[in-house]
Amino acid sequence: MSEESLKALPAGRIALERWQTPASFIAKVKELAAPIKSDKLFNRAEVAFLLGAMVLAEFVKFRPSGHVRLVGQTAQWPTGRSDHPRLQ
């Protein structure tokens, strides 16, 4: 994991906390996770949020959502939120 990858994580987390389309969210998760090897993903605290983001990115592929976001760092549960298009 490069220093550049580490420096991008705080801004990346903030970007994932904004409501966005599922496609945008999935693309951002891929961009942030791509340079991080699995052993770092599971063992470095600064990338732990990506695990939740990856699960949420997969979830919205199977459940239609208008928008999706990761919750703020201080929230313990849930990891993310999505809105169902029929409930808007």
Indicate whether 72 belongs to any domain: yes
Q: Which domain holds residue 74?
A: 3-83
Residue 38 is assigned to a structural domain of this protein: yes
- Give CA separation, 56 vs 3, 60, 65, in Å: 26, 6, 11
Domain-located, residue 88: no
Tally of domains within the chain: 1
Q: Which two tokens stand for residue 58?
A: 């997969």
Considering the entire predicted model, what is its pTM?
Answer: 0.83
Q: In the chain, which stretches have pLDDT less than 70?
A: 1, 73-78, 84-88
> Does the residue 61 lie in any domain?
yes
Q: Determine the 3-state secondary structure of 28 from DSSP.
A: helix
Output the pLDDT for position 17: 94
